[in-house]
Structure 1
Amino acid sequence: MSKQEALAFVGANAALLDSKTNPPNPFASSEWVHHFIDQVADEDWRIVALEGMADSGNLMLAWHHVATPWRFTSLTNYYASLYSPLASLAGSSEERAAAMRSVVQQLRSVRPRVATLQLAPLDGQSPDTVALLHELRHQGWHARQYFAFGNWTLPCEGLAFDAYIAARDSQVRNTLARKSKKLLAAGSLEILTEEADVDRGMDAWDAIYSRSWKQREPYPDFVRGWARRCARRGWLRLGIASLEGKPIAAQFWFTIDRRAYIFKLAYDEEYSKWSAGTVLTAHMFRHALEADRVVEIDYLTGDDPYKSAWMSDRRERIGVLACNPRSPRGAWAAAREMAGSLSAPLRQRLREVARPQA
């Protein structure tokens, strides 16, 4: 599908993408997928919808470049912290495994033949991912998984904010005790949720971001556009810390189905002595626990050292690279993958055995 065809397809299949039968993943929602295609996909992308057992409603979304139609990739990039390999109306694990089987079978009918399929980041513990790996291997693909990144979370159903803070390490508690009153005496904290406040909040975000350590956004309108979509759906939690009227720290969270996701954060390094990031983080956690009453807070991508101070649990996201030996390109890729998996001593021994004798 072209970009415009894909946008229409996502709109027509919103109910399937947003079905509660799917594991929770905001980055697989119709809202996110539509926004991603609209803002990130180039005109030379082709979006692929693999529909297994079409009457039952099963779908895997991927893409390829027009110049490399044999190389399929998950419909994600670094903005997304989780890729769902299956959207399905099937509820039980057995039904979803059958749905995954039919989706993988659809890969055989694609022409030109798919040589490689790379999907990431995945939940390695998800039954859908387990079924994906099983079906790829069962249907003759050479598939391996690899580590993508760590993901820190806080399961928090029924957790009171005071109890949460009391369980943090002494450095966090001492910083909050010293800095919170000082910052609030000279400044303010606010959490924006309404669409009418998006431009004001994102203007503040952009100003802070430009003065932070962060690199420039490769898609300048992506974050603001996502904030607007979140506000329309009631998901937006945009925290701003200001000092004497000047925004100095910001955090972009969104909350869906009682799960809070920490999407973006930045602070003005000139004001680092105020610890505005720490104070604002505590303010955001209080809102999530007391107002939104979330059951989980998710720090999304990466093992940044500060995340463990605020979270309790760590899980790993993986990627899957699958090569199709029925395709010449896929067979070559599979051979390279298998050679790369050999131990260094064994590779050296094979080279010695294969070396012509003098």
Structure 2
Amino acid sequence: MALRKKPPLLLRALDGETEAWLPLMRQANNHHVALANWYNFTWRPIYGDTCAESTRLSLLRQLALTARQRTRRLTLAPVPDEDGSASQIATAFSSAGWIVDRTECDENHYIRLNGRSFDEYWDSRPGQLKNTVKRKGKKNIVSTRVETEFSTQSWSDYERIYARSWKPHEGSPEFLMQLAQQESLAGTLRLGLAYIDGKPVAAQFWTVENGIALIHKLAHDERHLDASPGTLLSAALFQHVIDIDKVDEIDFGTGSDAYKRDWMESVRPRFRLDMFWPNHVANWPLIARLHLRHMRRKAA
């Protein structure tokens, strides 16, 4: 995996018995980035179980002071801010002397159920989506199932569908399979599969944990697009996690794909934080360009 080519760096701050960590990895030229990859929904600092909200800013400032000794530049993404993570990091590093540039880098579609059943949720969906599921479902061409345990055959079906879909080449199929196996052992795997005449035509990889359903991967064989297997499978999975798993929230990951709006009700931003230590000469051209960009924004 790509992570092996980037040495990790774990920065630690301590306040009494309270701890916080910044998990990072090194790029070239003393530039460190968030310890994350394309599978991450979010990245944020890690806090100990006893860490109160009031202590986080102090711990983050300690991390910012420590980081000055270990790196000249930090890039952190995708950072959420609904819990204050992006704002707290930016404030702490700015107060420690770093130059901080915060920009929106992605968006996350999600829905909070607020106790609704699937039928109540489904009533609020767009008419075109509901009509598609109703019409295609009546034909009984597509059969769907939701599996909660990993099996070699089902995962082989998933990979076969993915290979025939519009999706780009999987970044690390071995990692994804190991994740599915671990989630199965933990009881959190929800692998959706759709078939036509016994042949796999659509697949989705979800997990359910702490009241949240996370949609990691979805794909369908475009040769069977007329039967809408992906849409029917989505409806089956939404019904499963809402009525059986009783989740509070469904998270569609990152990306601004238009179809996500049919299934979700809310959008929240994901941020990129670029932070430069101003006393390092290699950062001066980058800081100058950053200031120039800010001046152009103000003038526009």
Asked if these proteins are the same fold (TM beyond 0.5), I'd say yes
Separation of aligned partners in 2, 1:346 and 1:308? 34
Q: Deviation of residue 346 (structure 1)?
A: 6.6
Query: Is the Cα–Cα contact under 8 Å of residues 61 and 75 in structure 1 kept in the other structure?
Result: yes
The alignment's TM-score, normalised by the length of structure 1, stands at 0.80
Q: Deviation of residue 345 (structure 1)?
A: 9.9
Residue 131 of structure 1 corresponds to which residue in structure 2? 88
Query: Is the Cα–Cα contact under 8 Å of residues 115 and 248 in structure 2 kept in the other structure?
Result: yes
Separation of aligned partners in 1, 2:108 and 2:77? 14
Query: Is the Cα–Cα contact under 8 Å of residues 88 and 96 in structure 1 kept in the other structure?
Result: no
Residue by residue, what CA displacement relative to the aligned partner does 1:165-200 show, whole Å, maximum 9, x if unpaired?
A: 111111011001101132xx34421111113x2x22
Separation of aligned partners in 2, 1:263 and 1:344? 35
Residue by residue, what CA displacement relative to the aligned partner does 1:173-232 show, whole Å, maximum 9, x if unpaired?
A: 1001101132xx34421111113x2x2221011111111111111223122121111111
Q: Which amino acid in 2 is paired with 1:125?
A: E
RMSD: 1.8
Question: Secondary structure of 2:206's match?
Answer: strand
Query: Is the Cα–Cα contact under 8 Å of residues 93 and 100 in structure 2 kept in the other structure?
Result: yes
Question: Which stretches in structure 1 are left out of the alignment for 5+ residues?
Answer: 1-38, 348-358
Question: Secondary structure of 2:253's match?
Answer: coil
Judge which range, 230-239 or 77-86, deviates more. Answer: 77-86
Separation of aligned partners in 2, 1:231 and 1:159? 27
Judge which range, 119-128 or 258-267, deviates more. Answer: 119-128
Residue by residue, what CA displacement relative to the aligned partner does 1:25-49 show, whole Å, maximum 9, x if unpaired?
A: xxxxxxxxxxxxxx4412x421000
Query: Is the Cα–Cα contact under 8 Å of residues 60 and 87 in structure 1 kept in the other structure?
Result: no
Q: Is 1:71 the counterpart of 2:31 in the alignment?
A: yes
Separation of aligned partners in 2, 1:330 and 1:135? 19
How many residues matched? 299
Residue 149 of structure 2 corresponds to which residue in structure 1? 194
Q: Is 1:266 the counterpart of 2:219 in the alignment?
A: yes
Q: Deviation of residue 271 (structure 1)?
A: 0.4
Residue by residue, what CA displacement relative to the aligned partner does 1:271-315 show, whole Å, maximum 9, x if unpaired?
A: 001011111111000001011000000001111000000111111
Q: Which amino acid in 2 is paired with 1:191?
A: V
Bigger relative contact order, structure 1 or 2 (CA pairs below 8 A, ≥6 apart): 2
Q: Which amino acid in 2 is paired with 1:120?
A: A
Judge which range, 185-194 or 136-145, deviates more. Answer: 185-194
Separation of aligned partners in 1, 2:53 and 2:47? 13
Question: Secondary structure of 2:254's match?
Answer: coil
Residue 189 of structure 2 corresponds to which residue in structure 1? 236
1:274-313 correspondence to structure 2 within 5 Å: 274-313=227-266
C-alpha distance 344-287 of structure 1, shift in aligned 2 (>3 A): closer
Query: Is the Cα–Cα contact under 8 Å of residues 100 and 275 in structure 2 kept in the other structure?
Result: yes
Separation of aligned partners in 2, 1:321 and 1:224? 32
Question: Secondary structure of 2:7's match?
Answer: strand
1:106-121 correspondence to structure 2 within 5 Å: 106-110=66-70, 114-121=71-78
Question: Which stretches in structure 2 are left out of the alignment for 5+ residues?
Answer: none
Q: Which amino acid in 2 is paired with 1:142?
A: I
Residue by residue, what CA displacement relative to the aligned partner does 1:80-100 show, whole Å, maximum 9, x if unpaired?
A: 121013333344211122221
Residue by residue, what CA displacement relative to the aligned partner does 1:125-162 show, whole Å, maximum 9, x if unpaired?
A: 33232221111111111101111111110101311111
Which 4+ stretches in 1 moved above 6 angstroms? 344-347
1:22-33 correspondence to structure 2 within 5 Å: none
Q: Which has a greater percent of helix?
A: 1
Separation of aligned partners in 1, 2:21 and 2:167? 36
Query: Is the Cα–Cα contact under 8 Å of residues 299 and 307 in structure 1 kept in the other structure?
Result: yes
Separation of aligned partners in 2, 1:301 and 1:81? 6
Residue 175 of structure 2 corresponds to which residue in structure 1? 222
Query: Is the Cα–Cα contact under 8 Å of residues 85 and 129 in structure 1 kept in the other structure?
Result: no
Separation of aligned partners in 2, 1:139 and 1:225? 40
Identical-residue share of aligned pairs (%): 29
Separation of aligned partners in 1, 2:129 and 2:20? 46
Residue 104 of structure 1 corresponds to which residue in structure 2? 64
Which residue of 80, 94, 110 corresponds with 1:153? 110
Separation of aligned partners in 1, 2:102 and 2:124? 35
Q: Which amino acid in 2 is paired with 1:297?
A: I
Q: Is 1:256 the counterpart of 2:215 in the alignment?
A: no
Query: Is the Cα–Cα contact under 8 Å of residues 187 and 242 in structure 1 kept in the other structure?
Result: yes
Q: Is 1:89 the counterpart of 2:46 in the alignment?
A: no
